[in-house]
Amino acid sequence: MTGTALHALARTWVVVRDPSSVPLVRRRVVDQLTAWQIEMPTELTDDIRLVVSELVTNAVRYDTSDTPTLTTQVVVAPDRSELYFEVQDGTPPDLPTPRPARWGPEDELTVGGRGLLLVAARAKRWNIEPTEGGKRVWATFALPTTPNIPQRVRDTVRAHVRRAAPRIRIHALPTK
Ligand SMILES: Nc1ncnc2c1ncn2[C@@H]1O[C@H](COP(=O)(O)OP(=O)(O)O)[C@@H](O)[C@H]1O
Ligand SMILES: [Mg+2]
């Protein structure tokens, strides 16, 4: 490897197991990425927001342990190519099992059950692992590798492409 060796960037927040922690952690993660000067397309930020919300919401809702707190962590890999987010709660990982989404009239009877499917769809990888005190549920995202293009240029190009082909998702623009 040439050039300056970078180190991983990491931040941990211990929050109360309360619904108010969902927007709090979501905001902290996004603010921290800004503070680390990790530039990314708006769609990716939205995906990260959504996954953070789903994972923290689940931990708030379904952790039945005595632990009154959740431990959340965001890590950016040393080469800045990947973002990792995890939530640790105090309940062992016999659950969750994502249920398949159902469509049609049955929908009204199926309350919820889509959060982890959304996580699986938006994250690059995700998993549930046991910890000493319960479990961690984590998700990763690929980060764009062309930080030298100003965000405003990327946003403009992206807006043009989106208008022309709404289904294309751009996470990185070529440098040339
Ligand atoms: N952190 C967690 N601890 C324990 N059970 C969980 C956790 N997260 C999810 N689950 C279980 O997995 C199920 C599916 O989760 P999810 O897909 O987010 O749907 P929803 O939250 O709408 O029920 C939940 O209903 C719950 O039973
Ligand atoms: Mg959920």
Q: From the CA of 47, how far away is ligand 1's center (Å)? A: 19
Nearest-atom index, ligand 1, CA of 87: 1
Dihedral angle computed from the Cα positions of residues 163, 168, 171 and 176, in that order, rounded to the nearest 10 degrees = -80
Q: What is the CATH number of the domain that holds 125?
A: 3.30.565.10
Q: Is 96 in the pocket of ligand 1 (CB under 6 A)?
A: yes
pTM of this prediction? 0.77
Exposure letters 102-126 (e unless 16+ CB within 10 A, then b):
eeeeeeeeeeeebbbebbeebbeeb
Residues forming beta bridges with residue 133, ordered by sequence position: none
Whether 135 maps to a domain, the answer reads: yes
Whether 170 maps to a domain, the answer reads: no
Tell me how many domains the chain contains: 1
Give tens-digit pLDDT for 11-38: 999 999 999 999 999 999 999 999 999 9
Whether 4 maps to a domain, the answer reads: no
Whether 101 maps to a domain, the answer reads: yes
Banded model confidence at residue 81, pLDDT cuts 50, 70, 90: very high
Banded model confidence at residue 162, pLDDT cuts 50, 70, 90: confident
Q: Is 63 in the pocket of ligand 1 (CB under 6 A)?
A: yes
What is the residue range of 18's domain?
A: 9-164
Banded model confidence at residue 156, pLDDT cuts 50, 70, 90: confident
Whether 160 maps to a domain, the answer reads: yes
Q: From the CA of 11, how far away is ligand 2's center (Å)? A: 24
Q: From the CA of 57, how far away is ligand 2's center (Å)? A: 6
Whether 64 maps to a domain, the answer reads: yes
| pLDDT at position 74 over 60 | yes
Backbone angles phi, psi at 4, to 5 degrees: -75, 130
Whether 124 maps to a domain, the answer reads: yes
Whether 174 maps to a domain, the answer reads: no
